[in-house]
Amino acid sequence: MKIESATFAVSSPNYRKCPTDGLPEYAFIGRSNVGKSSLINMLTGVKGLAKTSGRPGKTQLINHFLINRQWYLVDLPGYGYARVSKSSREAWSTMIRDYLLRREVLANTFVLVDSRIPPQAIDVDFIGMLGRGGVPLTVVFTKTDKENQREVMKNIKAMKQVLGEQWEELPPMLLTSALTGYGRDSLLDQIETINQTLTR
């Protein structure tokens, strides 16, 4: 797939306020500081499309970006650590869960996982929640350039083992690097394949 256009469409406080044009949506989510905004910018080829920040919790709404006028890339607030109030975290949690479990045009959710560190319970629990809810998902390992490859593969293997205790069949997994562009084609190819199945 070639990205010919990527433009900001709308920010929404809940799934009911999201676009109503029926285009398929591909959500990106992960723990705070997992590199989500950098990955989105690399994927679209538009520097600054998604706002990057060293401060966790920058994304606070459901952000839609229209890609090739055919589908939406959806930037969701990160889960986990963020320097915000408990009430704000709870509100985000409800907003995210409602979107993921109730949004009918959601075609796939890309759950971003930091490849530099061993499996985190919060990631495993979140992936499990999506699985139980029947939400199609792909696990996307980020920052694969930041660590030696032996450590990266060790962490990925460990994640597969942990998820294998809960899943009969593991969800698809991709390795990426926002810095080098590694994994970009594989991720876009998966989106294109899903889009093709939706139009049959």
Q: Which CATH class is domain 6-198?
A: alpha beta
Reply yes or no on whether the pLDDT at 133 is more than 70: yes
Mean pLDDT of 35-57: 80
* 3-class DSSP string for 26-55: EEEEEECCCCHHHHHHHHHCCCCCCCCCCC
Q: pLDDT tier at 82 (50, 70, 90 boundaries)?
A: low
Least confident of 63-72, 82-91, 98-107, 163-172: 82-91
Question: Given pLDDT bands bounded at 50, 70 and 90, which one contains residue 141?
Answer: very high
Phi and psi based region of residue 22 (left: phi greater than 0; alpha: psi -120 to 50; beta: remaining):
left
**Residue 141, phi then psi, degrees to nearest 5:** -80, 125
Sheet harboring 106-114: ordered strands across? 6-12, 62-67, 71-75, 25-30, 106-114, 137-142, 173-175
pLDDT band at residue 78, thresholds of 50, 70 and 90?
confident
Residue 119 reports pLDDT greater than 80: yes
pLDDT of residue 69: 96
Answer for the pair 73, 26: CB distance below 8 angstroms, yes or no.
Answer: yes
pLDDT at residue 55 in the model = 47
pTM, rounded to two decimals: 0.92
Q: Are 98 and 90 in contact (CB under 8 A)?
A: no
More confident: 55 or 93? 93
Q: Quick: pLDDT tens for 149-194.
A: 899 999 999 999 999 999 999 999 999 999 999 999 999 999 999 9
For 2-45, the pLDDT digits (tens) are 999 999 999 999 999 999 999 999 999 999 889 999 999 999 99
DSSP string, the chain: -----EEEEEEESSGGGS--S---EEEEEEBTTSSHHHHHHHHHT-TTSSPP-SSTT---SEEEEEETTTEEEEEPPPBS--SS-HHHHHHHHHHHHHHHHH-TTEEEEEEEEETTS---HHHHHHHHHHHHTT--EEEEEE-TTSS-HHHHHHHHHHHHHHHHTT-SSPPPEEE--TTT-TTHHHHHHHHHHHHHHHT-
